[in-house]
Structure 1
Amino acid sequence: MQNENRSRPVGRPRDQRTDEAVLDAALELLIAVGVEEASIEKIARRAGTTRAAVYRRYKNKEDLFVHAVVHMRERTEAALGPWETMSLREIWQLYRKTETIEALFGYTQILARLIGSICDHPDIMAAYNASDLEPRRVLFGKIIERAKADGTLRSDADTEIIIDMFVGAIVARLLLRGRPAHIEEMRDYIDRLFRQIFAEP
């Protein structure tokens, strides 16, 4: 999902291969060592470029991390399809796919690092929330409203609570309780979660 309101990297467009290398390096180091240890110098070295090349694209490390995470989400979703136009039942089937579950496993590793950086780098999470998380909540809210309108959900269902329940359940299962050992275990959990959302027997 493209977010047209997201701030653009500073500077004029550069080589796309270097763009991708810098974003990938930032993600890899974010997962491996966290925000504090993932310096611009280390990111540039891992990407096979220079610090100057990174700073031509991004204002600072925080700006780079936000763009890297958003880029990862957009790249993953481009392969999965236009989820924002799907029905809630179609979203259920999307989340059951092996590639979606694998993407969730990778994303929650990054989310854990971002959450862990809140005290020392609150601007990173704030910027990511504004540029990515909140727009996604709005889109997911529209999916839920459509489900209420077509009778899939109760008309008096609380949209905000449903979103929080869904996101909270996924985060709790993957971060707080630990990643399931097998894809099928997570698929079963997703099925159980959606059955609660639909309130089906």
Structure 2
Amino acid sequence: MTTTGQGLGRPRDHEIDAAILVAARELLAAVGYAHVTMDATAAKAGTSKAAIYRRFHSKAEMLFAAVLHTAQVVLPADTGSLSGDLLALGQRIRSDMSSPTAREVVPRVIVEISRFPEVSQRLRTLFVASEREEIEALLSRAVGRGELSRMPNLTTVHRLLGGALFFTVFVIDEAIDDTELENVVDVLVLGLRDRP
């Protein structure tokens, strides 16, 4: 017999999801990355540590979701053009990466990735996959408008846009204003349009 629904187990409670992320952000701001614990987060969120571990496998994953983004796909703004769409996405990524909490969490997540391969795998499965879905939606619109003759490689576009912003913010610690971001987008769009 076939049944429909959410399958085995309890359905996810999105109020608990939100409470965990809010608690994690508040603790991070109050005590810093090193002193955030799953126990303290659970207590502040009014839930159990087990509920947190059903959602996140590590503190790094939880705080990454809390300060940068969750695994939920957020469709990029439709500005009417590929350049405009990429610029809007780039502005959102820049804003997320430049926040004080992101600047505290991301370097520590990188350390955990280097020590624990499973952290890297989880981040790729959850967060990189959702980012690429967002980019796919954006590029599909450009193909539909006739701005691109074919669908570009998602991985390449993701690496070029995200990589440029990551390098600027976290490696060389420079600000990237809208004019510079527009230049990055212009080069990216030119490359996408000129490829045979």
TM-score (norm 1): 0.63
- Aligned-pair Cα RMSD in Å: 4.4
What's the counterpart of residue 49 of structure 1? 43
Structure 1 residue runs without a partner (length 5+): none
Q: SS of the residue aligned with 1:142?
A: helix
Distance 1:145 1:172, change over 3 A: same
Q: Find the aligned partners of 1:16 and 1:50 in 2 and give their Cα distance.
A: 13
User: Which letter maps to 1:120?
Assistant: R
Q: SS of the residue aligned with 2:61?
A: helix
Q: Find the aligned partners of 2:180 and 2:132 in 1 and give their Cα distance.
A: 21
What's the counterpart of residue 118 of structure 2? 123
Q: Say if 1:84 and 1:140, in contact at 8 Å, map to a contact too.
A: no
Q: Find the aligned partners of 1:127 and 1:56 in 2 and give their Cα distance.
A: 18
Q: SS of the residue aligned with 1:163?
A: helix
The aligned length equals: 179
Distance 1:168 1:50, change over 3 A: closer
What's the counterpart of residue 95 of structure 2? 102
Q: Find the aligned partners of 1:190 and 1:111 in 2 and give their Cα distance.
A: 21
Does residue 144 in structure 1 map to residue 139 in structure 2? Answer: yes
Does residue 170 in structure 1 map to residue 160 in structure 2? Answer: no
Q: How does 1:1-201 map to 2 (within 5 A)?
A: 19-25=20-26, 27-28=28-29, 32-33=32-33, 38-41=36-39, 44=40, 49=43, 53-59=47-53, 62-74=57-69, 82-83=75-76, 88-95=82-89, 101-106=94-99, 107=102, 109-153=104-148, 155=150, 157-180=152-175, 185-199=176-190
Q: Say if 2:76 and 2:138, in contact at 8 Å, map to a contact too.
A: no
Q: SS of the residue aligned with 1:118?
A: helix
Q: Say if 1:88 and 1:144, in contact at 8 Å, map to a contact too.
A: yes
Q: Find the aligned partners of 2:30 and 2:65 in 1 and give their Cα distance.
A: 16
1:84-129 Cα offsets, whole Å, 9 max, x none, are 76653342342475x7643230245433221121132332332122
Identity of aligned residues (%): 8
Q: Say if 1:141 and 1:159, in contact at 8 Å, map to a contact too.
A: yes
Q: Find the aligned partners of 2:190 and 2:95 in 1 and give their Cα distance.
A: 27
Question: How far 1:140 sits from its partner (Å)?
Answer: 0.7
Distance 1:192 1:15, change over 3 A: closer
Distance 1:57 1:91, change over 3 A: same
Q: Find the aligned partners of 1:9 and 1:89 in 2 and give their Cα distance.
A: 43
Distance 1:28 1:73, change over 3 A: same
Q: SS of the residue aligned with 1:196?
A: helix
